[in-house]
A and B are shown apart, each in its own frame.
Chain A
Amino acid sequence: MLKRKRWIFAILALLPTLAIFAYVRMYPIIDILRLSLHRWNILSKNKPFIGLENFRELMSDNLFLTSLMNTTIIAFGVLAITIPLGMVIAALIFHRTRTRMSGFYETSIFIPHIVSLVPAAMAWKWIFDARLGPLNALLSAFGIEPQAWLFDPVLSVVCVIVLCSWQALGYAVLIYLVGFKNLPVSLYEAAKLDGASGPKSFWYLSIPMLKPITLYVSVVTLVSGFNVYAQPFVLASDSQGAPGRQVRVLVLDMLENSFRNYRVGYAASEAVVLLVIVLVLTLIQFTMLREKGKA
């Protein structure tokens, strides 16, 4: 009797959360899968089922392919900067932990991660500005030609990578610091007795032992890299908001197709591509962690 009462409480208490969850998560996720198989122009009433036609069309859509390419470059670019730099900075801070300065290091490296996206992007927009920015002024002091950082299609992708890495670094450092704190001290002491220097024990002990953390940070960084939107939007849109000047990324292309071209079904199929990328990344993480568990 008592057990039954507990079960009823569990269900009743969970019901509101469950209802919200079903409405704001489950339903739209199923809906995106359904929409991706239909042709739906918001302006017309009917939504014919067209199977995988949207996906076939995506494969020959230059704007989509550019977006996919840019997004991939940004995601892996941020990864290539954040992981090694995050690990080294965390190791150095960990080495100086318990000193008066470690709090300052941690806080100031973490702050870019928490400040609002748009003001942070504004700060960098000024740095990269072709006419007024300090970056070009600095370069010309070294005799290097000023560059149109935010207008050149290649350089503006680089700018997005720099901005995103600057923001992502604090997170990586924080997670690595937690990792370092959990490593067994005895191993390092043993290595020291064997005459291993700091850099050596970092290379042969820390990097291998932090592998699960590296894997986790990599997946988080890549997933947020593939969802990137606000940073390129702010950084690369000029005063006229001309779409051609923006760094084309997946989410931007998706929103343009949906809200500017009114092709919701087509945009939905892009969302599904994004979903597949994220699922594959997560799957890689799970399999690698499981393999490690077996070994």
Chain B
Amino acid sequence: MTDFAELTEAEHAAGRRLRARKRAVNIAIDVFLTLFSIAMLLPLVFLIANAFKTPAEMLAWPPTIVPHDPTLENFRAVLGETPLLRWILNSVLFAIMSSIAIIATSSIAGYIFAKFRYRSLNVIFALFLATAIVPFEVYMIPLYFQVKSLGLLNSVWGLLIGYLVMSFGIFLIRQNVIHSIPDELLEAARLDGASEFWIFVHVVFPLLRGALGALGVLAFFQAWTAFAWPMIVATTRSSYTIEVGLALFQTGYTVDLGKLSAASATVLIPSVITFMILRRNFVQGVASTGMKE
């Protein structure tokens, strides 16, 4: 280690220059990232702002971010013309039921595949793996006819049938069980005379709370943003989900950007707030999809 006293004045100057350059680079990066982040948010900010604008202000250039003359007229018009609240209720119901179903099916299957090693189960697991690759869009037409033959079109139950299981959820829980639940713990419970079912409910399930939370959030958003499936299953105005309602709202009427923005903002604001609150869970869930190995 060199003693600072031994450094020449020139070396000090070089060090200062280096530090100054490093700081300049960091500032440049911060400026760029800040501008970029704001640009990414801008379309959504404008959408929300437009919802509160009068038709005249919507045409103004440059567009205003804070409306001069905020009005709730757009919201009032949308609520009067569409069953917006009904659509939101349909979506919320669908998303909650789907999350519960996915948490239930994934936790059981994930646990069994992680801790019960039988050849027959391996075959089943391989089947799960193989079908996980197939996108929903590929098989939704036959599934539609199944729902139709059950007489569940235009109902939340019909929607739910498409979103009862999530292959990724089963893998996520399986990984979590392997990493966070030691065999010794299960053996100890068995020696104490606990039944397999009791162990699952009282030992495994509580230990998986974090992972199941992340999965629940993912499942909720997956259903909340679903489009193609609700579009074909729910075709009566009162059975639309909010996404379908919004998309079709624009086709039935002359385009009124104020009303469209108001309806969109009504959907957007709660989901952004939910995301902010559950950010950790959400990011964990998404990040773990990229770390399959």
Contacts and interface: CB of A to CB of B under 8 A. Distances in A.
Interface of A: 2, 5-7, 9-10, 13-14, 16-18, 20-21, 23-29, 31-32, 35, 89, 92-93, 95-96, 99, 101, 104-112, 114-120, 122-127, 129, 132, 134, 137, 166, 169-171, 174-175, 178-179, 198, 212-213, 216-217, 223, 226-227, 229-230, 233-234, 237-241, 251, 254-255, 258-259, 264, 267-268, 271-272, 274-275, 278-279, 282
12 contacts: A7-B118, A21-B165, A24-B165, A114-B282, A115-B44, A115-B268, A115-B275, A174-B283, A174-B290, A212-B293, A275-B134, A278-B138
A101 B268 CA distance: 24
A127 B286 CA distance: 29
**Chain B, interface size: which category?**
35 or more
Residue of B62, B137, B260, B271 with highest tally of chain A CB at under 10 A? B137
Given A108-B41, A119-B265, A123-B43, A178 B131 contact: no
A227 to B, nearest CB: 5
A239 B126 CA distance: 47
A116 B243 contact: yes
Nearest to A85: B36
A111 B272 CA distance: 7
A212 B25 CA distance: 29
Nearest to B278: A114
Contacts of B251: 237-241
A268 B138 CA distance: 8
A134 B62 CA distance: 8
Contact of B225 (A29, A110, A116, A251): A116
A112 B268 CA distance: 11
Chain B contact surface mostly: helix
Residue of B141, B164, B275, B276 with highest tally of chain A CB at under 10 A? B141
B291 to A, nearest CB: 6
A257 B228 CA distance: 15
A108 B32 contact: no
Interface in B242-263: 242-243, 246-247, 250-255, 257, 260-261
Contacts of B290: 174-175, 178-179, 213, 216-217
Given A101-B33, A114-B271, A126-B50, A259 B243 contact: no
A9 B256 CA distance: 58
Interface string B92-121: 000000000000010011001000101001
Contact of A174 (B44, B105, B246, B286): B286
B185 to A, nearest CB: 15
Residue of B38, B138, B290, B293 with highest tally of chain A CB at under 10 A? B138
A108 B242 CA distance: 24
A31 B131 CA distance: 13
B142 A116 contact: no
Contacts of B197: 9, 13
A175 B286 CA distance: 8
Contact of B128 (A21, A112, A124): A21
B207 interface: no
B134 A29 contact: yes
B165 A25 contact: yes
A227 B133 contact: no
A92 B33 CA distance: 8
A104 B38 CA distance: 10
Given A20-B105, A118-B246, A134 B112 contact: no
Contacts of B161: 24
Residue of B40, B46, B252 with highest tally of chain A CB at under 10 A? B40
A119 to B, nearest CB: 4
Given A17-B165, A178-B290, A10 B133 contact: no
Contact of A122 (B105, B246, B291): B246
A99 B37 CA distance: 15
Nearest to A169: B40
B43 A258 contact: no
A49 B224 CA distance: 39
B165 A20 contact: yes
Contacts of B26: 95-96
A112 B47 contact: no
A122 B266 CA distance: 12
